[in-house]
Structure 1
């Protein structure tokens, strides 16, 4: 599995903050561009946005159609998760995080943001990373391998702030999964915030505004 495409945008020369943005199934590295450029953090903070693109793989649930994807998706009836694919993508994002650290960005200033499949990888990577990150933003996602994460909690990740945003009418990832996730985070004492919106499996303006505000608040707190 090769990762060749990474788009990077810096709004200044003196970069202090990095946000790694992960697209959804079938999406690409440009998906977040129209959203990001309209945020206050992009306009007011020295920031770097990194947009990795997933490889093209065969998706079992879509009649084996080749698509951009972070991992394979199986038929819902099978209730199988592509552990190998998810972990490969996790390692890729970890390498990007480590590269940013080598470029002088502190871990407390590195965010992971994702939509749908991208949100899954953001949560999986952030909660398994050895150091506390600035924050994890999950838009219409879910947390894979909850039992495994519960058994092998990384102490530093318990303090990593998490922002969960989900549509109550989501027809792809049912909101019931988010209620369970909310209870999981609460029971295991994670630092999280959960917002629900009157939308389907999509991103709305109010959601982006809330994420923008939340990230800005975390940046001000850490710096």
Structure 2
């Protein structure tokens, strides 16, 4: 089993030119460079952009719905890395309410898991094809209040990796934590990010 080193790619504005930042979290088999390349389709030119890199290009080894112990210690390490990057942004003067999160697939699952365990007023959360992590959801681990943070969840109906039911259950948890959730399913969409999803993301951004 493995854990993660804190390594990431930066792009966008330097901290002395912006007070906004976005964390972009890649999927299984992807890379920080892959996910950060989405910047050319997104309205994030005015932000500092951080994309952490997973060890072995995977944040955890098995399905996000596998028994949690099967994905340890990689999963806890991945969540900790996201927390470390958030702290780095805050040290550089970015307020939590100006921090945005975006993830795809495994990265969307990790984005949702981190933010639901640390619910606060963020700039926004975008999860392309993902849901909260675990064989069953453990609601008591989700803490805080999103205070109306806009949250976008998109997925395919059906998706080969992410059951529709888990996405809808995730939306309910996030709403119960005070998130302003937009949930959008696309019939028989490929396991990738579509133009329509990017358009929805840009409305949030």
**Band of TM-score, shorter chain:** 0.7 to 0.9
1:110-125 matches, within 5 Å, as: 110-125=99-114
SS at match of 2:32: coil
In 2, the alpha carbon distance for the partners of 1:131 and 1:188 equals 9
Number of equivalenced pairs: 198
TM-score, normalised via structure 1 length:
0.79
1:74-223 matches, within 5 Å, as: 79-81=66-68, 82-129=71-118, 131-145=120-134, 147-148=137-138, 150-157=139-146, 159-186=148-175, 190-198=179-187, 199-215=189-205
In 1, the alpha carbon distance for the partners of 2:126 and 2:79 equals 15
SS at match of 2:149: coil
Aligned-pair distance for 1:83?
4.7
SS at match of 1:105: coil
1:51 match: 51
Tell me the C-alpha RMSD between the 2 structures. Answer: 2.4
CA deviations on 1:72-126 (whole Å, 9 max, x unpaired) are 20598xx423253222111111010011000000110001111111011111111
In 2, the alpha carbon distance for the partners of 1:137 and 1:35 equals 13
Greater displacement, 202-211 / 156-165: 156-165
In 2, the alpha carbon distance for the partners of 1:194 and 1:106 equals 26
In 1, the alpha carbon distance for the partners of 2:64 and 2:87 equals 34
In 2, the alpha carbon distance for the partners of 1:75 and 1:191 equals 24
CA contact (8 A) 1:6 1:29 kept: yes
Any stretches of 5+ residues in structure 1 without a counterpart? 57-67, 216-223
Any stretches of 5+ residues in structure 2 without a counterpart? none
TM-score, normalised via structure 2 length:
0.85
In 1, the alpha carbon distance for the partners of 2:64 and 2:12 equals 40
Q: CA distance change for structure 1 residues 70 and 209 in 2, over 3 Å: closer, same or farther?
A: same
2:24 match: 21
CA deviations on 1:12-46 (whole Å, 9 max, x unpaired) are 6511211000000011111123321132332xxx2
Q: CA distance change for structure 1 residues 140 and 108 in 2, over 3 Å: closer, same or farther?
A: same
In 2, the alpha carbon distance for the partners of 1:188 and 1:17 equals 23
Tell me: higher relative CO, structure 1 or 2? Use CA pairs within 8 A at least 6 residues apart: 2
